[in-house]
């Protein structure tokens, strides 16, 4: 898709989404208002770099510029954010030069309940200036040790739920049960797709997790029992507006990171449509 057609697509999708989410019918051939009412944007959209797992950092930066996106949840995949300190510094410098802010990293896995292994993950994020670690699989037994490093480094840990296949953390509510009496910097990364597949009401989960929600992975599904049913955001059954309303009601200050896991070799059409839809919903809610 060339730049002109991409801009045309983005504008038309945003305007249509705004009208739909605001409950305004569009007559055939009608043009929606060019701007939504002004309002401070309460939802911060970001991108999970795993979406572009088959592309290099240079390509990722180029795509983010096309998307007008400058907030990145980075992962050690390809050369996005290497764990080697020298290579990591090069990556961070490239993002900084491009005006891209790394707000989280992950998912990062914690397979060992050992100081050296856990410390290495915190050092990795500290070097990159990242304040939220999205943790994939810390065991319940390792949480007290992780908590010690959370206090030492003053970083947030957002444990990521992975749905019914996950032996430990299927739902964010499973996480909440074990961390509710721990340091308040230990919380959740709610993956909306995995949450609904675990049979958990996503809006209720956001309200229950409340101030312990530090990151969110956004996706959409046509079938809440099938991981393989992922589609561009807005094409499935995910209650996007209700999710945004819940985040606003709970005063969520983190990022909603699109994690588009299908069409890995050509994600841009779905990613573009997903951001356009989410921006359209927000416009329909009175934000732009």
pLDDT at 89 over 60: yes
Dihedral, CA atoms, 169, 229, 214, 156, nearest 10 degrees?
50
Higher pLDDT pick, 173 / 28: 173
Q: What is the mean pLDDT of residues 50-73?
A: 98
pLDDT at 39 over 80: no
- Cα gap 110→179, rounded to integer Å: 16
pLDDT class for 288, splitting at 50, 70, 90? confident
The answer to whether 229 touches 261, Cβ cutoff 8 Å, is: no
Helix ranges (H only) for the chain are 3-21, 57-67, 85-97, 115-127, 143-153, 172-179, 192-197, 202-209, 240-249, 268-284
Give residue 5's pLDDT.
37
- Cα gap 37→221, rounded to integer Å: 30
Of the candidates 125, 211, 197, 201, the one whose C-alpha atom is nearest the C-alpha of residue 161 is: 197
163 Rama class: left (phi>0) / alpha (psi -120 to 50) / beta? left
Q: Determine the distance from the C-alpha atom of residue 214 to the mean position of all C-alpha atoms in its chain, rounded to a whole number.
A: 10
Q: What is the mean pLDDT of residues 201-206?
A: 98
Per-residue tokens: 261: 């896991």
As a whole number, the mean pLDDT across the chain is 89
Give residue 38's pLDDT.
54
The three-state secondary structure class of 47 is: strand
pTM over 0.85: yes
237-275: per-residue pLDDT in tens? 999 999 999 999 999 999 999 999 999 999 999 999 999
pLDDT at 67 over 90: yes
pLDDT > 70 fraction of the chain, expressed in percent and rounded: 86
Per-residue tokens: 78: 């390809």
Backbone angles phi, psi at 116, to 5 degrees: -60, -40
The answer to whether 50 touches 30, Cβ cutoff 8 Å, is: no
pLDDT class for 15, splitting at 50, 70, 90? very low
pLDDT at 136 over 80: yes
Give residue 24's pLDDT.
35
**Domains in the chain with CATH codes:** 42-284 (3.20.20.150)
pLDDT at 207 over 80: yes
pLDDT at 193 over 90: yes
Strands 101-108 and 132-135: parallel
- Cα gap 269→274, rounded to integer Å: 9
pLDDT class for 137, splitting at 50, 70, 90? confident
The answer to whether 270 touches 231, Cβ cutoff 8 Å, is: yes
The answer to whether 161 touches 175, Cβ cutoff 8 Å, is: yes
The answer to whether 118 touches 149, Cβ cutoff 8 Å, is: yes
The answer to whether 276 touches 9, Cβ cutoff 8 Å, is: yes
């Amino acid at each position: 898709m060339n730049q002109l057609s991409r801009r045309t697509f983005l504008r038309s999708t945003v305007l249509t989404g705004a009208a739909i989410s605001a409950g305004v019918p569009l007559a055939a051939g009608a043009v929606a208002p060019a701007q939504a009412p002004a309002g401070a944007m309460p939802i911060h959209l970001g991108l999970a770099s795993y979406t572009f797992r088959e592309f290099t950092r240079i390509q990722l930066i180029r795509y983010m510029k096309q998307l007008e996106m400058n907030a990145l949840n980075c992962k050690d995949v390809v050369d996005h954010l290497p764990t080697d300190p020298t290579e990591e510094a090069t990556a961070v410098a490239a993002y900084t030069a491009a005006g891209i802010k790394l707000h989280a990293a992950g998912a990062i896995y914690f397979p060992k309940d050992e100081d050296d292994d856990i410390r290495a993950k915190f050092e990795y994020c500290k070097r990159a200036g990242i304040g939220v670690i999205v943790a994939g699989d810390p065991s319940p037994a390792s949480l007290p040790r992780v908590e010690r490093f959370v206090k030492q480094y003053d970083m947030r840990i957002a444990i990521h739920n992975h749905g019914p296949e996950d032996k430990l953390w299927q739902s964010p509510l499973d996480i909440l049960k074990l961390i509710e009496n721990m340091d308040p910097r230990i919380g959740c990364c709610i993956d909306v797709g995995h949450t609904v597949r675990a049979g958990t009401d996503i809006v209720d989960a956001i309200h229950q997790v409340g101030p312990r929600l530090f990151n969110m992975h956004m996706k959409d599904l046509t079938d809440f029992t099938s991981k393989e049913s992922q589609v561009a955001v807005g094409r499935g059954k995910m209650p996007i507006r209700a999710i945004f309303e819940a985040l606003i009601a709970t005063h969520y200050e983190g990022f909603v990171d699109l994690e588009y896991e299908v069409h890995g070799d050509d994600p841009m059409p779905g990613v573009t449509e997903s951001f356009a839809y989410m921006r359209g919903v927000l416009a329909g809610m009175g934000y732009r």
